[in-house]
Amino acid sequence: AQSVSQHNHHVILSEAASLELGCNYSYGGTVNLFWYVQYPGQHLQLLLKYFSGDPLVKGIKGFEAEFIKSKFSFNLRKPSVQWSDTAEYFCAVTRAGFQKLVFGTGTRLLVSP
């Protein structure tokens, strides 16, 4: 089935560690890729998105993601995490011509001070 996969369900890091969260999708054709974040007690908000151009996308709060078309991947990275990055992170895809977001299962990140 066509889907979005996030392989890490739970990640625990110490402050200042580097972060990489994996995201793979299985759709053919043109896709648009998103990372959303849900901080504790808050609603989903957009971190970054890619739909064309430079495959390395920079988002808010120092996050970036790289689209690698040959690997069907859109991994999220941050060089040095902070305690305030503790949240759940969702990768999502829309297919060209379709409006619905298809989400991965999410990755819970806990950053210990």
Partner 1 sequence: GAGVSQSPSNKVTEKGKDVELRCDPISGHTALYWYRQSLGQGLEFLIYFQGNSAPDKSGLPSDRFSAERTGGSVSTLTIQRTQQEDSAVYLCASSPRGGGSTDTQYFGPGTRLTVL
Smallest distance, partner 1 to C-beta of residue 109, A: 16
CB of 88 to partner 1, least distance (A): 10
Query: Binding residues for partner 1, per CB under 8 A?
Result: 32, 34, 36, 42-46, 49, 51, 90, 92, 94-106
Q: Of all helices (H) and strands (E), which one includes residue 111?
A: strand 107-112
* Distance separating alpha carbons of residues 44 and 30, to the nearest angstrom: 24
Distance of CA 103 to the CA centre of its chain: 10
Q: CA–CA separation, 44 vs 63, rounded Å?
A: 16
By DSSP bridging, strand 102-103 and strand 10-14 are: unpaired
Between 49 and 77, whose beta carbon lies closer to partner 1? 49
CA 110, CA 88: separation in Å to the nearest integer?
A: 9
Query: Is the Cβ of residue 42 or residue 70 nearer to partner 1 in the bound state?
Result: 42
Measured from the CB atom, is 65 or 81 closer to partner 1?
65
CB of 89 to partner 1, least distance (A): 12
CB closer to partner 1 out of 32 and 86: 32
